[in-house]
Chains A and B, each alone.
Chain A
Amino acid sequence: MEVSPENEKRVRTRRSRVISRKIDRFFLALYDIFSFNVRFFKEVFLPPYEGKEIIRQCYEIGVRSLPLISLTGFIIGIVFMNQSRPSLAEFGATSWLPSLVSLAIVRALAPLVTALIGAGRIGSMIGAELGSMKVTEQIDAMEVSATNPFKFLVVSRVLATTFMIPALMMYTMLVALLGAYLNVSANEGTSFVTYFTQVFDAITFLDIFSSVIKSTLFGYTIGMVGCYKGYNSSKGTEGVGKAANSSVVTAMFLVFIEELLSLQVITALR
């Protein structure tokens, strides 16, 4: 078929219309996410406060994550110590192992591992829970019984993750350092006191402080993404699965981006 200039023009305008609709949708989604965040900050300060629900969520999110976090943190400590040994041994510098490992754990591993496990366990849980509540009209039911579902469900969960992820991160730090200690004491025979003196000599207050701040941001992100995806999940059971799945993927993606950005900021501060 011959392509007349007129025909080509028509195809091109149609294509550009599709693209412009896609761009519109992208910015609408962006605006939607922005207003969801704004609404959180508005409602978090306004009474009534859902204290009981926040505590329940902290328990659900924090305490219930302990077994998984303990195991992962511990193993990471052992493995990381073990894998770092050969490269330092080459220079006969195995005595530096505790300082090296403590830096890695405190600055990077503990926050990241906690956030990733949080995104996996907590993000999917929140996404699926709110998603199914949305789909089965439980959120509407809350609203018609004069309870603000945003406050009851979203604000409580986001606050809980924002508080609990840094707390879990500190715990991961300790457990990983303990795991690393077991490995180093078995291999090099380093004593507990020597090990921890070296560990704390290597790190500064800024290291811990920045990790806590970073984890707070990760926690907020995980809670926010899970709630947003769940709260806006489409109707039908398929929507619930999608909400859970994309909560995890999006939260992990954002955590890595934030990690990169905060690395820049902290390096500048140091």
Chain B
Amino acid sequence: MSVDIQRTARSQVTFRAIAAHAILITYTLIALFPVFVIVINSFKSRNAIFREPLSLPNAESFSLKGYETVLKQGDFVLYFQNSLIVTVASLTMVLLFGAMAAFALSEYRFRGNLLTGLYLAIGIMIPIRLGTVAILEMMVASGLVNTLTALILVYTAQGLPLAVFILSEFMQGISDDLKNAGRIDGLTEYTIFGVLVLPLIRPALATVAVFTMIPIWNDLWFPLILAPAEETKTITLGAQVFIGQFVTDWNAVLASLSLAIIPVLVLYLIFSRQLIKGITAGAVK
């Protein structure tokens, strides 16, 4: 009797596990499919792309023409470098300033604490693109148009609200006793922040890093408006040169997109171990 119940319970657990995995695998396949199509087609000749877009490249259809075009177009390396500089610099600033603001908001009682927190959180709900015109005017006035600095500043502003919000939630969870023990041992507030608090919120930092990084890397809007000059183009903007009004060099577009995936993938892998901890932090004690 009790064995039966156990068996039913166990088979129910197995069934649930299978169902959950089936759903997750299906979702993964759907999400990866476009990426997969882009990557396989970037290795095919133009004709093959249109004839059989879903087939893998074979001896007959294999072609590296797209990659040749992209690499021959000398600026491509520069675009790549621009994207990397903008993303990494913005990410660093968002994480550093976000963590500092979050520490101040969660650790110190001061007049206007709550108000400041709310003010910073409003940025999550109002898209920064609504302010594009004003931002452009400001950049023109300060002579920052067509510089990477302009992009870095805008992306830092764009990323900060969510970073402050998530990080201060996490920081509130860190025991006061630990910070107080540090104070009694004579650690400065900066050391407490850097040595005691930051390592404990590493998963949260990684989560914020991933959520901040991807929209910046993929953004087409601000590079187009604030920094469209040849020497400041980012990769997403650079790839547009192959899309013409009348003729589009599909080989080159697909090749440049495939290449553009690599750096984010690397950054993502760096953060992902921490990220998994971050996502499950609340759920699994």
* Chains A and B form a bound pair: no
Chain A residues within 8 Å of B, Cβ to Cβ: none
